[in-house]
A and B are shown apart, each in its own frame.
Chain A
Amino acid sequence: MITSNQVNKVYRTKTIETTALHSVNLEIPEGEFLSIMGPSGRGKSTLLNIIGLLDAPTSGQVQINESNPPKYNTKSMVKFRNKKLGFIFQGFHLIPDLSVSDNIELPLFYRKTSSKERRKLAEEALESVGLKNRMSHFPSQLSDGQKHRVTITRAIVGKPQKILTDQPTGNLDSVMGNEVMDILMHLNSENNITIVMVTHDENMAKKTHKLMRLYDGQQVA
C-alpha cells in the first residue's frame, strides 16, 4: 500500500517558483496497476519520483507499507528502495560501460548477492523478455526496443513489490508498446506486483485498473 497525504512539491529557482504538485492525496493498494496521465510538464514525473522515494516532497507525507514516513538519504531508505522498489525511468538510463547482464544485475549487486546467483537471476529475467542472447552486448549495441526491455528487466530482476515506470512505451511503435505493456500486465497479474505507470497513451491507460489525471499539479480525476 502506498499512500500520499497532502503532498506538495515546489521548485524554487532564483527567478521563478514552480508548483509541480499541489495537495496530492493517493492510495494505491497492493497489486493495483495505476496509470497517471496529464499534459507535459504538469508534475507526473515529479509525483512518481516522490512516490518512489527518489525525491522528498516540499510538504506532506508519503507512506509505503504503513511504515513511518521515511527519512531521506539514509542507509535504511537506500536499502528499502533496493529491496522493494523497481524503477523504469523516462529514458533508458543504462550504464554504457556495463554489459546488458551487468546492467541488469545492478540492484542485486548492491544487495551483495553472489555473482553466480546474480548471473542466474539475470539470465532468467532476460529469458522472460526474450533477450537472453543479448546478455553480453553493450547498451550501444541494442535497438531502442531492446533497450526498453533491458530497463524493464533491470527493474524486475530483484523481484520488487512495486514498480514505478515513467512512460515505458513512450517512444515505441504500437507493436513494441503493446509488447512492453503485456510484460507489465503479466508481472502485475502473475506476481501481484503493484505498478504505477505514467503514460501519455490513452489505450495503455485503459488497460490498467485505475487512472489518475494530473493537471497543473492537481488531481482532477
Chain B
Amino acid sequence: MISNYIKLVIRALGQNKFFTSISLFGISFTLAILMLIISMLETEVDTNPALSERDKMVLVPNLQLKKIFYDTIYSYDSTMYNGEIVIDFRYKLYEQGSSNSNNELAHWFLEEHLDDIPNAVNQTFFNRNQVNNSKVELKAVYADHRFGEVFDFKFIDGFGFNETAVKNEELVAVITDDLADKYFGRRDKVLGKNIEKNGRNYSVIGVIKPAGIMLLSLDIVVPYTHDYIDSQIRDENSFGSYMAMYIGDESSDVELIKEDIKFINSNTEVPAPAREYFDITEFKPYGFHEACAGQILDMNNAEQSLNIMTWVMYALIGFLILLPTLNLINLNVGRFMERNSEIGVRKAFGVDRTTILVQFILENIVQTFLGGLIGLGLAILGIDLINDTNLIGDIVLKVNYRFFGYSLIICLLFGLLLGILHAYRMSKMHIVSALKQNKL
C-alpha cells in the first residue's frame, strides 16, 4: 500500500514540474547556503592560530569578594585606566543585603594562590588594558613568557619574548601586523623598530596575526614586569587586572583543572586587609567556550551566557531555515488551492480522510527529502569549488554532515507540519464545495 502512495506522490511531483522544481530549489538552495556558512564558521574557529588548543583551556577571569550584611555594605573597587590602577574606596550604606566586589586579579594573588595547578601542563597570567599612546590607541597586554606558548599566535616575523627578557624587564614588544601597519605604515620589516608606550620605547621583536576573538583582542604584548603598579607591588589589594589561562594535556583534563581550581578556592581565605569588609573569596574556572560567551554577555554568569548564546545561534539558524520555508508554505498553499477539485473527485470516488492525510503528508516529505539531498549535493559541489579555486585563501572547507542531518530533520519536520496542516484542511473540506472551486 505504501509503495502505491509513493508512486502516486512521485508521479504527482513529476507531473507538476514547475512547482516541484521551485520548491526543491528553495529547500536545496537554502540548505546548501547554510552548510557553506557553517563550514566557513567552523573552519574559522578551527584554524584560528592562537586557539588551536582551545578545547584544553581553562580560564580564571576574575575574583569576587563577598559579604552578607544585615544593614550596612562596604563597596570596594578598582579599575585599570591608562596603565594605572585606580583604586576606588567608596563607602555605601544600604538598609540590608549583601556586599559583592568583583574584578580581575592582582598578579601577586595569582602567583601566591594559582601558580601550581596539578592537572595543568602550562599556564599564563596576562592582562588587557587600553593605552592612549601619543600616536595610536593601543590595546596592550602585559604577560609572562608563556603567553605565547599557551596561545599559539601565528608569527609573521620574529619571536616572542623569553623568560630572561621578562625577568630583566627588557623593553621588548610583540605587535600585530595591523598595529605595524597603523604605526609604521608597513606590515613587514619592522623588527628592531621602536614603539612608544607609557613614555617608554619598546623594541619590536615579533609580529603576529591578530587572533580575531574578543578575549585575545590586542595590539601589543609586553613583559608583565613593566607593569609595576599591578604586578609587583604587593599592596593589600587582591584585585588587579590579570587573569589566568591554564591548558591541559587533552580536553578531558579541563574538568580536572576546574576541580583543582575549585579545591584551591575552597581553601583560600580572604586576604587579611580585606577581611574587615568581606568573608568569602571566589574565583571560578571556565572552559574556553564559556569564557567567550561570558565575554560577550556576562562574565559572572559564563555558563548561563554560553547557554544563551547557543540558543541565539540555534534561533538564528532556525530563522534562516524558516524564511524560505515560509515561502514554500506560501507556494504550497497556492498549490493546494488548485487541488480542491482533485480532493473533491478523490472523495467522491471513495477516499477517506486518513488516506488523503497520508497522501499529502507523504508528498511533502518526499519533496523535502529530495530537496535536502539536492542541497547536500550543491553544498558538496560548492565546497569543492571553493577549495579547488582557493577562493578564500588557503583555507580548506569541510562538509559538516551532522549539521546537514539536523537541517534535514528540521526541514522534514517543517514539511510534516505543513503537510499535516494542509492535509487536515483538505480532508475536512466538503465534497460539493471542493468540486465547485475549479474545473478542468
Contacts and interface: CB of A to CB of B under 8 A. Distances in A.
A161 to B, nearest CB: 14
A172 B4 CA distance: 35
Interface stretch (B307-315, B337-345, B364-372, B401-409): B337-345
A207 interface: no
A18 to B, nearest CB: 14
Given A95-B342, A95-B345, A102-B11, A110 B351 contact: yes
A94 interface: yes
Contacts of B432: 49, 54-55
A135 interface: no
A78 interface: yes
B348 interface: yes
B287 to A, nearest CB: 55
Contacts of B349: 81-82, 87, 106-107, 110, 154, 158
Contacts of A111: 350
B344 A112 contact: no
Contacts of A138: 15
Interface in B314-371: 341-342, 344-352, 355
B431 interface: yes
Chain A contact-residue range equals 20 to 34
A110 B431 contact: no
A97 B12 contact: yes
B435 A97 contact: no
Interface in A108-152: 109-112, 115, 138-140
Contacts of A154: 349
A115 B5 CA distance: 12
Nearest to A83: B350
A106 B346 contact: yes
B431 A93 contact: no
Nearest to A55: B432
A60 to B, nearest CB: 17
A72 to B, nearest CB: 10
A54 B1 CA distance: 26
A111 B1 CA distance: 11
A52 B432 CA distance: 11
B440 interface: yes
Contacts of B347: 78
A39 to B, nearest CB: 19
Given A81-B348, A82-B350, A87-B349, A97 B439 contact: no
Interface in A37-75: 49, 52, 54-55, 75
A29 interface: no
Nearest to B345: A93
B4 A107 contact: no
Contacts of A89: 345, 348, 435
A178 B382 CA distance: 62
Contact of A139 (B4, B11, B352, B440): B440
B16 interface: yes
A55 B15 contact: no
Among A49, A89, A92, which residue has the most Cβ atoms of chain B within 10 A?
A89
A79 interface: yes
Contacts of A93: 341, 344-345, 435, 439-440
A139 B342 CA distance: 13
Contacts of B439: 91-93
Contacts of A96: 15, 342, 440
A10 interface: no
Contacts of A49: 431-432
Top-9 shortest CB links A-B:
A82-B350, A91-B439, A97-B15, A110-B350, A107-B349, A97-B12, A54-B431, A93-B345, A95-B342
Interface of B: 1, 4, 11-12, 15-16, 341-342, 344-352, 355, 430-432, 435, 439-440
Given A99-B11, A110-B350, 10 more contacts: A49-B431, A75-B352, A78-B347, A87-B349, A91-B435, A93-B439, A96-B342, A98-B11, A111-B350, A139-B440
30 contacts: A55-B430, A55-B431, A78-B350, A78-B351, A81-B349, A87-B348, A89-B345, A89-B435, A91-B440, A92-B439, A92-B440, A93-B344, A93-B345, A93-B440, A94-B345, A94-B440, A95-B345, A97-B342, A98-B12, A106-B345, A107-B349, A109-B4, A110-B349, A110-B351, A111-B350, A112-B1, A138-B15, A139-B440, A140-B440, A158-B349
